[in-house]
Amino acid sequence: MSGTYDIIIIGGGPAGLSAADSAVQNGAKKVLILERDREVGGILQQCVHNGFGLHHFKQELTGPGYAQRCYDMVKDRPEVEILVDTMVLEVRTDKTVVAVSPAKGRLELTAKTVILTMGCRERTRGAIRIPGTRPAGVYTAGAAQRMVNMEGYLPGKKIVILGSGDIGLIMARRMSLEGCKVQAVLEICPFSNGLTRNIVQCLNDYDIPLYLSHTIVAIHGRDRVSGITAAKVDEKMRPIPGTEFEIDCDTVLLSVGLIPENELSRGLGLTLHPKTSGPVVDQHRETSQPGIFAAGNVVHVHDLVDFVSDEAEIAGKYAALASLGQSPAVDRVIEVKPGAGINTCVPQHLRLGIEGENVRLFMRAAQPKRGVKLVITSGGETVLTKPLAVVKPSEMIAVDLPAAKTAALSGEISVAIDEGV
């Protein structure tokens, strides 16, 4: 607990643990993970279902199983110290980290580099302005998941879920398995915002109706939810008068999006991207502040934890190299811009050496499409194309740019969906 750390990692979820492991493998000698919860593992601890790890560990795991694998990689490493029940209050640009815990009191720690892995949080009722009363029984899906899977309590018995994000779909199945009746899942978009496998396994298998282009126009009940009014929406997502219908329920779960937790990033003055709501990063996940790295859902919300681990390993490696004074030389900076049909692209720029390097780009499509082509161009020239059978906003697209291609890049690149296939 003294001296300067090579790296302080803020957050002990899968991103923080994977970053720590990679950092040590790349030469870091003194790594500290600060975790605010009572245990490491992050939100995975409440995700008791399976389906994790197929890409990263080539094995199907539950959420806690995946968290355990991540923890196992670092727990016996003498280079890694973990403090739980410890909340970071401030990170400064000189890499001083201020934290508090009941056991250690107020701490001011210093490091050569910092990796931000705080994850994300759920959008709430207020953010989407649902009219009606304000009774008990309205929860975000993730909060309900914690109640059921970790606290051992049922938030209700007759459920309506607003939003078809993955947590909402998973909770539809979870509540059904607990003997609850899931009356409906309502989605304001004309398409689902969850993984296809979750629509099949969590709704279809349990005969739970999914109403696309529908939303809640009122929540009823004084002290506890007694029902909702649903309605169809038009193409501008406005409720269509006359289409209202009532659904009887005691609980409303909201699965209406996730937002990166960037309060510390904001305090640091990092450049944040308006669409991802996370810090702007290069391919090594270094932010706009030298020596401050970020990875996982704090950068952009992922749909698979496997990609979170991949991204955190990159951040861990380059934070380690930076702390050892071995950062690769930068010859030029190439901006990466989302083009037609692409909503977000991470990293937002490449800081390349003369030789170029293998770079993986992560993108989200703006609209669901079938039979399209992903096209990467630079200065009017096509750099790479990749046919894609299906693209949907809920499923992240990953594309690898080999070193031979990045070595040749000189100007801004654009990533777009070409529908004319």
Tell the smallest beta-carbon distance from residue 317 to other proteins (Å).
29
Determine the 3-state secondary structure of 3 from DSSP: coil
* Range in contact with other proteins (rule: CB under 8 A) among 72-80, 94-102, 194-202, 357-365: 94-102
Per CB under 8 A, the list member of 3, 78, 105, 325 interacting with other proteins is: 105
- Which residues, 144 to 173, sit near other proteins by CB under 8 A? 146-148, 150-157
Would you say 103 or 354 has its CB closer to other proteins?
Answer: 103
* Range in contact with other proteins (rule: CB under 8 A) among 59-67, 83-91, 300-308, 378-386: 83-91
Per CB under 8 A, the list member of 54, 60, 72, 104 interacting with other proteins is: 104
Binding mask 270-289 for other proteins (x = CB under 8 A): --------------------
Please tell me what DSSP assigns to residue 151.
Answer: I
Distance of CA 415 to CAs 72, 126, 221, 365, 394, Å? Answer: 38, 34, 48, 10, 18
Six token digits for residue 362: 């992560």
Under the binding rule (CB under 8 A), the answer on residue 3 touching other proteins is: no
Nearest CA to 220 out of 199, 185, 193, 245 is that of 245
Per CB under 8 A, the list member of 134, 197, 332, 370 interacting with other proteins is: 134
Distance of CA 93 to CAs 99, 260, 277, Å? Answer: 15, 20, 20
Per CB under 8 A, the list member of 76, 94, 207, 223 interacting with other proteins is: 223
Please tell me what DSSP assigns to residue 200.
Answer: I
Under the binding rule (CB under 8 A), the answer on residue 324 touching other proteins is: no
Would you say 104 or 386 has its CB closer to other proteins?
Answer: 104
Per CB under 8 A, the list member of 100, 272, 383, 403 interacting with other proteins is: 100
Per CB under 8 A, the list member of 4, 60, 87, 355 interacting with other proteins is: 87
Tell the smallest beta-carbon distance from residue 166 to other proteins (Å).
16
Per CB under 8 A, the list member of 143, 212, 366, 388 interacting with other proteins is: 143
Nearest CA to 265 out of 237, 297, 239 is that of 297
Under the binding rule (CB under 8 A), the answer on residue 131 touching other proteins is: yes
Helix (H) or strand (E) holding 121: strand 120-122
For 284-353, the DSSP string reads T-B-SSTTEEE-GGGTS--S-HHHHHHHHHHHHHHHHHHHTT-PPP--EEEEEEE-TTEEEEESSEEEE-
List beta partners, residue 333: 351
The length of the chain, given as a count of residues:
421
62 and 44 Cβ atoms separated by less than 8 Å? no
Per CB under 8 A, the list member of 4, 133, 271, 358 interacting with other proteins is: 133
* Range in contact with other proteins (rule: CB under 8 A) among 13-21, 219-227, 340-348, 355-363: 219-227
- Which residues, 17 to 36, sit near other proteins by CB under 8 A? 36
Nearest CA to 220 out of 135, 163, 155 is that of 135
Q: How far is it, in rounded angstroms, from Cα 332 to Cα 409?
A: 9
Interface residue list for other proteins (CB under 8 A): 36, 85, 87, 89, 100-106, 121-122, 124-127, 129, 131-137, 139-140, 142-143, 146-148, 150-157, 178-180, 217-218, 220, 222-224, 239, 250-251, 263
